[in-house]
Amino acid sequence: MARKPQTRPRKSASQRRSQITVDALIEATARILVREGYDKASTNRIAAVAGVSIGSLYQYFPSKEALVAAVIERHTRQLSDVIQAALARVLTSPLEAAVRELVGVAIDAHGVDPKLHCVLAEQVPRVGRLENIDAVEKQARLLLRDYLEAHRGEIGIADLDLAAFILVTTVEALTHSAVLHRPDVLTGEKAAEFVDEVTQLVLGYLQTPARARKPNKASRAR
């Protein structure tokens, strides 16, 4: 049975000089992930790009996986700040305005180092603390559910946990795919059109009365 790699730092940086070294290692790891991919990110390569000795690297990080986990944590904090700020702004907004704002913030979140976001989402193994890449979506679902609860009178869905899951997953998938395959729809006039279309998609789902969502007996029998 393969041993799980250590993903926790050996020690934290308590002095400014140490923090500079740690920051340089994390930044070098992020650059290598974007330019060369996860498989090419070795501790020797990271130390060389950071301008740090391999001995200094191992003082703070026991493995490549620990460095990648540190990159994920930094990226997650940046995304979390964007999402929390947006949800705080829309807490008392009516449904359509809130949905439009949240679709826009999904685009903004993917604008936080989009190339790194794609590498972390698609190349990095889900091992130990590397699963923290999902933390932002989990937090978004919880916050969105709170918003939906406060606006029950405007929506036609009873299961708010399911609704929050569907909405966050759908908007994330659409935006992520746009970053990868259609970056043109995230800039200029196309961006406004993209936000409009996704907003209408979300509103159509949220505002459809529950009875209209249930298939009739004939359709279930097919």
pLDDT in tens, 140-161: 888 889 889 988 888 888 899 9
d(CA 197, CA 191): 10
Direct distance between the N- and C-terminal alpha carbons of the chain, in angstroms, rounded to an integer: 47
Query: Which domains can be identified in the chain, with CATH numbers?
Result: 16-64 (1.10.10.60), 71-212 (1.10.357.10)
Read off the DSSP letter of residue 133: G
d(CA 196, CA 157): 22
Say what angle helices 135-150 and 95-110 make with each other, to 10 degrees.
Answer: 170
Asked if residue 211 has pLDDT above 60, the reply is no
Residues in contact with 193: Cβ distance below 8 Å, sequence separation at least 6, in sequence order: 185
The pLDDT assigned to 161 comes to 93
User: Please, which pLDDT band fits residue 2 given cuts at 50, 70 and 90?
Assistant: very low
> What pTM does this model have?
0.68
Within 13 Å of residue 166, how many CA atoms lie on the same side as its CB?
Answer: 13
Q: Which of 80, 144, 90 is closest to 112 using CA atoms? A: 80
Asked if residue 177 has pLDDT above 50, the reply is yes
Q: Which two tokens stand for residue 4?
A: 């799980």
Read off the DSSP letter of residue 56: H
Positive or negative, the Cα torsion across 98, 113, 179, 161?
Answer: negative
Rounded to 5°, angle at Cα 62 from 61 and 64: 80
pLDDT in tens, 95-149: 999 899 888 888 877 777 878 877 887 777 765 455 555 677 787 888 889 889 9
The answer to whether the CB of 154 falls within 8 A of the CB of 98 is no
Select the more confidently predicted residue: 115 or 219: 115
